[in-house]
């Protein structure tokens, strides 16, 4: 009986993790801008049948390569257009990334480092959250981590045939990372390998990279689309390689400038609830193991440093940019957890419990003092939306606190303590994410579109005036005519102006000429527009931030 349970418990654990990971992919409506954008581009691919040139609102969209668009478009074709299908790829790659950490830990280090590392990855706040949000960062993280881990395994493997296979896998994964988000898919792994070679003066490692075979495999995967899209669109190459890579990194053009230390608090918050193990794990990672030539812990540490330094030096920063270091960080923490003392496991559990208590306490205080809390947050969102979200935050904190206490009580059994805290940490993130749906009316056009869905015919003009909401396109299931505000489509509009209207006077003339029409404004812009252009309009839907009108 015990042996049967022993054989089955890994599968039971995997099933529990899968249920907890995938349970709410479709619960929340898409929010702007990223989720709307990365759902709309695949929707337009399916509708147009053009899978070569990505388009957003009908305009060419060359900011990123198409791999995730293709997968999401395939999910739409197979399962229908829904929030679940839109988030399937980041959810799946996030789930596989946790299994990847387990595999790498088992291959590179002694058990139970892989299991503890996977437990950390599955539940650290930033990784678990981004795995349930529609962006490109999770798929990039999976492929680039697969490349890094495969390289490390290849350098440890003594057989030349096995080493070649692992290195070819590393090259292939890097190519898929490039096809997901661009040149960082190869630049960052190469930077980490170069840093390791230079610091260790291990020049022989260069001969074990299988540069010729790997390079050909990399180009065979990554090059065809770049060649084809460049032939079909002569403007692609300069925009993608110069504007989207060099200028994005070196300038503040994209409006994402943050100070050089920006990612420090992102890292500390993102690794919760495992922050107690972060610094000891980083310190131990630099310790040399004398019996082996290649030092995988040092390499993984250098990988984290290279990625962190690269994005810290960039003038364009978003919190999710450093996500690719989290699988490696999770594994380094897992190595530490696997050999830590019961006292450390006790401290880790109690720290998580205190964090959960603090989060619950702050949420309950904010619920009881909502006006004061809104002043501190400096937000213009309706108070009732926050009032609905705060109980979710409180429940999430309580769950994390309970998991921390349970983990501390198991401190004598390190793996059990880590798994307990992992399940509680994942539940905490899922509760907080699910609760964000209470804020959806402010960040998603779903609710306002539902009020007019049966009234908007496909051939009736729909204008967006001095605003742009990516989720509007997805939930309307159509493109719109942009007025004044070009949002991120300034260059594509310059290439193909199509029906873009540069000012409100042009919009007023078009509106007057239309027999039927709809338009969306920011809630505080409509009155000012009507004072300048007194054209007939009837309000048919509105929320705290948007108002939709039609021509009576």
Question: Cβ distance 345 to 337 under 8 Å?
Answer: yes
pLDDT recorded at residue 350? 96
469 Cβ neighbours under 8 A, 6+ residues apart: 32, 36, 445, 520, 546
Exposure string over 492-509, b if 16+ CB within 10 A, otherwise e: bbeeeeeebbeebeebbe
CB-neighbour burial class of residue 114 (10 A; exposed 0-12, middle 13-18, buried 19+): buried
Question: Backbone dihedral region of 210: left (phi > 0), alpha (psi from -120 to 50 degrees) or beta?
Answer: left
Task: For 550, list phi and psi in degrees, rounded to 5.
Answer: -130, 165
CB-neighbour burial class of residue 309 (10 A; exposed 0-12, middle 13-18, buried 19+): middle
* Residues 295-333: tens digit of each pLDDT: 999 999 999 999 999 999 987 788 999 999 999 999 999
The structure tokens listed for 376 are: 């501190």
Q: Under DSSP, is residue 209 helix (H, G, I), strand (E, B) or coil?
A: coil
Quick one: which of 80, 78, 79, 69 has its CA closest to 44? 69
First to last CA, the chain: 74
* Residues 168-206: tens digit of each pLDDT: 999 999 999 999 999 999 999 999 999 999 998 888 888
- Whole-prediction pTM value? 0.95
Q: Do strands 462-465 and 518-522 pair parallel, antiparallel, or not at all (unpaired)?
A: parallel
pLDDT recorded at residue 2? 45
Distances (CA, A) of 92 to 221, 243, 357, 415: 21, 31, 31, 25
Q: Do strands 481-483 and 518-522 pair parallel, antiparallel, or not at all (unpaired)?
A: unpaired
Question: Tokens 């364009």 identify what position?
Answer: 316
Question: Tokens 């107690």 identify what position?
Answer: 276
Would you give per-residue pLDDT tens digits along the chain (552 residues)? 345 445 678 888 999 999 999 999 999 999 999 999 999 999 999 999 999 999 999 999 999 999 999 999 999 999 999 999 999 999 999 999 999 999 999 999 988 999 999 999 999 999 999 999 999 999 999 999 999 999 999 998 667 888 999 999 999 999 999 999 999 999 999 999 999 999 988 888 888 999 999 999 999 999 999 999 999 999 998 888 887 766 665 555 555 567 889 999 999 999 999 999 999 999 999 888 877 788 999 999 999 999 999 999 987 788 999 999 999 999 999 999 998 899 999 999 999 999 999 999 999 998 888 887 777 776 777 888 888 999 999 999 999 999 999 999 999 899 999 999 999 999 999 999 999 999 988 899 999 999 998 899 989 999 999 999 999 999 999 999 999 999 999 999 999 998 999 999 999 999 999 999 999 999 899 999 999 999 999 999 998 889 999 999
Q: How far apart are alpha carbons 395 and 399 in whole angstroms?
A: 6
**Eight-class DSSP state of 463:** E
Q: How far apart are alpha carbons 115 and 296 in whole angstroms?
A: 17
Question: Cβ distance 307 to 87 under 8 Å?
Answer: no
Quick one: which of 108, 124, 120, 104 has its CA closest to 337? 120
* Residues 410-455: tens digit of each pLDDT: 998 999 999 999 999 999 999 999 999 999 888 999 999 999 988 9
**Eight-class DSSP state of 248:** H
Question: Tokens 């994942």 identify what position?
Answer: 426
């Amino acid at each position: 009986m015990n042996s049967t349970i022993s054989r089955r418990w890994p599968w039971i654990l995997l099933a529990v993790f899968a249920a907890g990971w995938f349970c709410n992919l479709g619960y929340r409506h898409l929010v702007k801008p990223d989720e709307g954008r990365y759902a709309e581009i695949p929707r337009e691919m399916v509708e147009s049948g053009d899978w070569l040139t990505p388009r957003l609102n009908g305009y060419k969209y060359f900011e990123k390569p198409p791999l995730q668009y293709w997968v999401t478009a395939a999910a739409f074709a197979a399962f229908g257009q829904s929030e679940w299908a839109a988030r399937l790829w980041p959810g799946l790659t996030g789930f596989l990334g946790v299994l990847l950490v387990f595999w790498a830990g088992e291959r590179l280090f002694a058990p139970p480092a892989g299991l503890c590392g996977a437990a950390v990855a599955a539940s650290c706040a930033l990784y678990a959250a981004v795995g349930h949000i529609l962006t490109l960062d999770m798929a990039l993280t999976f492929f680039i981590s697969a490349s890094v881990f495969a390289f490390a395994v290849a350098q440890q493997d003594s057989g030349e045939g096995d080493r070649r296979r692992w290195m070819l896998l590393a090259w292939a994964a890097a190519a898929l990372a490039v096809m997901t988000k661009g040149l960082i898919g190869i630049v960052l792994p190469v930077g980490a390998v170069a840093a390791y070679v230079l610091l260790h003066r291990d020049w022989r490692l260069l001969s074990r990279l299988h540069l010729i075979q790997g390079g050909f495999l990399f180009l065979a995967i990554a090059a065809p689309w770049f060649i084809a899209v460049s032939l079909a669109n002569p403007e692609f190459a300069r925009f993608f390689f110069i504007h989207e890579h060099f200028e994005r990194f070196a300038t503040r053009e994209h409006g994402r400038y943050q100070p050089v230390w920006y990612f420090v608090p992102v890292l500390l918050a993102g690794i919760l609830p495992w922050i107690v193990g972060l610094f000891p794990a980083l310190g131990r990672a630099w310790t040399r193991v004398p019996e082996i030539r290649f030092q995988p812990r040092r390499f993984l540490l250098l990988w984290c440093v290279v990625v962190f330094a690269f994005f810290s030096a960039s003038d364009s920063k978003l919190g999710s940019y450093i996500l690719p270091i989290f699988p490696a960080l999770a594994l380094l923490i897992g190595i530490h957890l696997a050999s830590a003392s019961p006292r450390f496991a006790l401290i880790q559990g109690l720290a998580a419990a205190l964090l959960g208590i603090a989060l619950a306490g702050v949420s309950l205080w904010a619920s009881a003092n909502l006006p004061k809390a809104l002043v501190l947050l400096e937000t213009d969102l309706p108070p009732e939306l926050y009032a609905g979200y705060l109980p979710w935050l409180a429940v999430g904190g309580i769950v994390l606190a309970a998991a921390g206490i349970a983990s501390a009580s198991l401190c004598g059994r390190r793996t059990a303590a880590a798994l307990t805290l992992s399940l509680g940490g994942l539940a905490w993130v899922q509760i907080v994410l699910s609760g964000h749906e209470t804020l959806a009316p402010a960040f998603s056009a779903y609710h306002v579109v539902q009020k007019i869905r049966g009234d908007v015919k496909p051939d009736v003009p729909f204008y967006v005036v001095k605003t742009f909401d990516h989720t509007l396109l997805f939930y309307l299931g159509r493109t719109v005519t942009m007025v004044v505000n070009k949002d991120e489509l300034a260059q594509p509009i310059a290439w193909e102006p199509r029906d873009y209207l540069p000012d409100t006077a042009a919009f007023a003339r078009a509106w007057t000429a239309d027999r039927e029409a709809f338009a969306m404004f920011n809630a505080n812009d409509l009155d000012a527009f009507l004072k300048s252009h007194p054209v007939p309009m009837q309000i048919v839907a509105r929320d705290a931030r948007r108002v939709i009108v039609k021509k009576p």
